[in-house]
């Protein structure tokens, strides 16, 4: 483990299992992290996504907004660390390795600045928490999907008609439309009912179970922070429904929100791509405070998809 980080109690060193050293640098500001290594010839392979060449590894946004899905301390660190400068810097580093798509909600200022500096990213937007017209007018995304938190709540409350209506409205506005979820059964339902949608975004860990559902899954037990419980038996269930649909899908949280130890990261990426269709991709969040995760992830994806 780096001397600049400390493992969280009971956690093997992993991508979210470390806390940063105290801020240092001019004026007490946190350093920008390790300088990027020289760019190699490595480029993330692309797939066709509704007329565009999109990298199969898509930049996720949760770390940018402090959505660590871990401890309050890590959440606070990410919010402080990720200034707009750092967000834009990560986007440029992604471009150097052929990552040309960004999955986000909000982030309009950083994305516009990045584009103004010559960066190129296809924007795959998360929607569902604000009026659809507002979500589309500023950045004109390639695609938009109703985010998993909103969809799962509707599924649990038996109000999926509201999600269906949202999708119809998105279609009327002329955008590529999708449904996000943490639940394989949601994708199965939308498929069975033949909704007019173009793609899915599926979390491979079903972290939105209710407390009662967790007690059933854990034989009467329930964990602290139950909404952040990650069961190793969950990914095969989501990968199965993703493989069954003919529509393109994006899998996310393939690293269990950073809970996968470093030694298991390559296998998590390998399992994802072996479980997906050639027209599918993954969303992965980046926090390069300790190491150049953009390069690391790009090289892993290139290695796996090129059969090296």
Q: How far is CA 67 from the centre of its chain?
A: 11
Provide the pLDDT for residue 255.
Answer: 93
Q: Are 202 and 252 in contact (CB under 8 A)?
A: yes
Give φ, ψ of 89 to 5 degrees: -60, -40
CA–CA distance, 39 with 172 (Å, rounded to integer):
42
- Token pair of 233 as six digits: 């038996």
The predicted pLDDT at position 222 comes to 83
Look at domain 45-306 and name its CATH class: alpha beta
- Positive or negative, the Cα torsion across 81, 87, 93, 98? positive
Q: Which pLDDT value is given to residue 29?
A: 40
Note the maximum CA span of the chain.
58
Per-residue H/E/C for the chain: CCCCEEECCCCCCECCCEEECCCCCHHHCCCCCCCCCCCCCCCCCEEEECCEEEECEEECCHHHHCCCCCCHHHHHHHHHHCCHHHHHHHHHHHHHCCCCEEEECCCHHHHHHHHHCCCCCEEEEEECCCCHHHHHHCCCCCEEEECHHHHHHHHHCCCHHHHHHHHHHHHHCCCEEEEEECCHHHHHHHHHCCCCCCEEEEECCCCCCCHHHHHHHCCCCCCCCHHHCCCCCHHHHHHHHHHHCCCCEEEECCCCCCCCEHHHHHHHHHHHHHHCCCCCEEEECCCCCCCCHHHHHHHHHHHHHHCC
Q: At what angle do helices 262-275 and 234-244 cross, to 10 degrees?
A: 30
C-beta of residue 217 within 8 angstroms of C-beta of residue 249: no
Domain spans, the chain: 45-306
Say how many Å lie between the first and final Cα of the chain, rounded: 28
Split the chain (308 residues) into runs of 10 and give each run's mean pLDDT: 38 48 41 50 95 96 75 78 88 95 85 91 87 74 94 97 96 94 97 98 93 89 83 96 98 91 94 98 88 93 89
Strands 18-20, 122-127: pairing is unpaired
Q: For 158, how many CA atoms within 13 A lie in the half-sphere containing its CB?
A: 0
Q: Are 294 and 283 in contact (CB under 8 A)?
A: no
Question: Residue 252 has what pLDDT?
Answer: 95
Pairing of strands 57-59, 281-284: parallel
Q: Residue 180 forms beta bridges with which residues? A: 201
């Amino acid at each position: 483990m780096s001397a600049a980080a400390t493992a969280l109690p009971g956690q093997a060193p992993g991508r979210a299992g470390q806390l940063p050293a105290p801020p240092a640098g001019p004026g007490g500001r946190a350093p920008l992290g390790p300088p990027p290594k020289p760019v190699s010839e490595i480029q993330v392979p692309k797939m066709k996504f509704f007329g565009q060449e999109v990298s199969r590894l898509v930049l996720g946004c949760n770390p940018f907004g402090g959505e660590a899905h871990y401890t309050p301390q890590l959440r606070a660190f990410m919010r402080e660390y990720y200034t707009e400068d750092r967000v834009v810097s990560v986007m440029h580093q992604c471009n150097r390795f052929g990552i040309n798509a960004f999955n986000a909600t909000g982030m309009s200022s950083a994305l516009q600045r990045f584009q103004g500096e010559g960066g190129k990213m296809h924007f795959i937007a998360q929607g569902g928490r604000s009026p659809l017209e507002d979500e589309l007018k500023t950045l004109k995304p390639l695609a938009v999907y109703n985010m998993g938190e909103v969809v799962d709540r509707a599924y649990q409350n038996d109000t999926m008609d509201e999600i269906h209506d949202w999708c119809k409205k998105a279609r009327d506005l002329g955008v590529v439309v999708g449904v996000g979820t943490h639940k394989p059964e949601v994708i199965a339902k939308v498929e069975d009912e033949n909704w007019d949608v173009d793609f899915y975004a599926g979390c491979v860990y079903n972290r939105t179970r209710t407390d009662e559902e967790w007690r059933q899954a854990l034989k009467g037990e329930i964990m602290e922070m139950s909404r952040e419980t990650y069961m190793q038996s969950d990914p095969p269930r989501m990968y199965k429904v993703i493989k069954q649909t003919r529509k393109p899908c994006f899998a996310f949280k393939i690293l269990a929100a950073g809970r996968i130890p470093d030694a298991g990261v390559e296998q998590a990426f390998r399992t994802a791509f072996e479980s997906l269709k050639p027209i599918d991709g993954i969303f992965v969040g980046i926090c390069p405070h300790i190491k150049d995760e953009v390069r690391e992830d790009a090289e892993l994806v290139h290695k796996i998809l090129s059969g090296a």
